């Protein structure tokens, strides 16, 4: 049986109570937990994934015209427990500054379209959240 080349996965290992280590197939490692220390929480990782995915899209589109002088993205949401835990009011705000001159002008002009393309078609993470998809959870046998 051939594995789907579009398949993605991470493996989590418990390191201590409510603290985990995530590892991808390429050897990348990320530690996270419930929020008692400085480690990211799963909710913060979701916000990071949304902003990160969109940021990569926007960078690809705008940096071809000019390298940004500053590139900051704030991703936020409100945690609600009504009807079960979930986030509402998800918002991603780009603060990108390009240099003066024709290249910077071209990048500035392209920025709104880049953000729109990411939101509407390119960003796998935000599109998955927007469209919704079933999440199957079970125990290995």
Please determine, looking at this structure, whether the domain spanning 41-131 carries the CATH number 3.30.300.20: yes
Give the pLDDT of residue 3: 82
pLDDT digits (tens, 9 = 90+) for 55-96: 999 999 999 999 999 999 999 999 999 999 999 999 999 999
Q: How far apart are the first and last CA of the chain?
A: 20
What are the residue ranges in the chain where pLDDT is below 50?
A: none
Give the pLDDT of residue 134: 95
Exposure b/e, 95-120, CB count within 10 A at least 16 = b: ebebeeeeebeebbebbeebbebbbe
Structure tokens at 110: 């392209």
Domains of the chain: which residue ranges? 8-40, 41-131
Give the pLDDT of residue 36: 85
Give the pLDDT of residue 88: 97
């Amino acid at each position: 049986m051939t594995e789907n080349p579009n398949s993605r996965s991470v493996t989590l290992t418990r390191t201590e109570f409510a603290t985990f280590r995530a590892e991808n197939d390429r050897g990348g490692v990320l530690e996270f937990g419930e929020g008692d220390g400085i480690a990211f929480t799963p909710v913060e990782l979701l916000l990071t994934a949304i902003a990160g995915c969109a940021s990569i899209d926007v960078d690809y589109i705008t940096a071809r015209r000019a390298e940004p002088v500053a590139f900051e993205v704030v991703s936020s949401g409100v945690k609600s427990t009504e009807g079960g835990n979930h986030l509402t009011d998800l918002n991603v705000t780009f603060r990108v500054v390009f240099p003066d001159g024709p290249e910077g002008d071209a990048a500035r002009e392209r920025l709104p379209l880049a953000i729109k393309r990411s939101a509407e078609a390119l960003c796998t993470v935000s599109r998955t959240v927007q469209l919704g998809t079933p999440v199957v959870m079970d125990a290995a046998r």
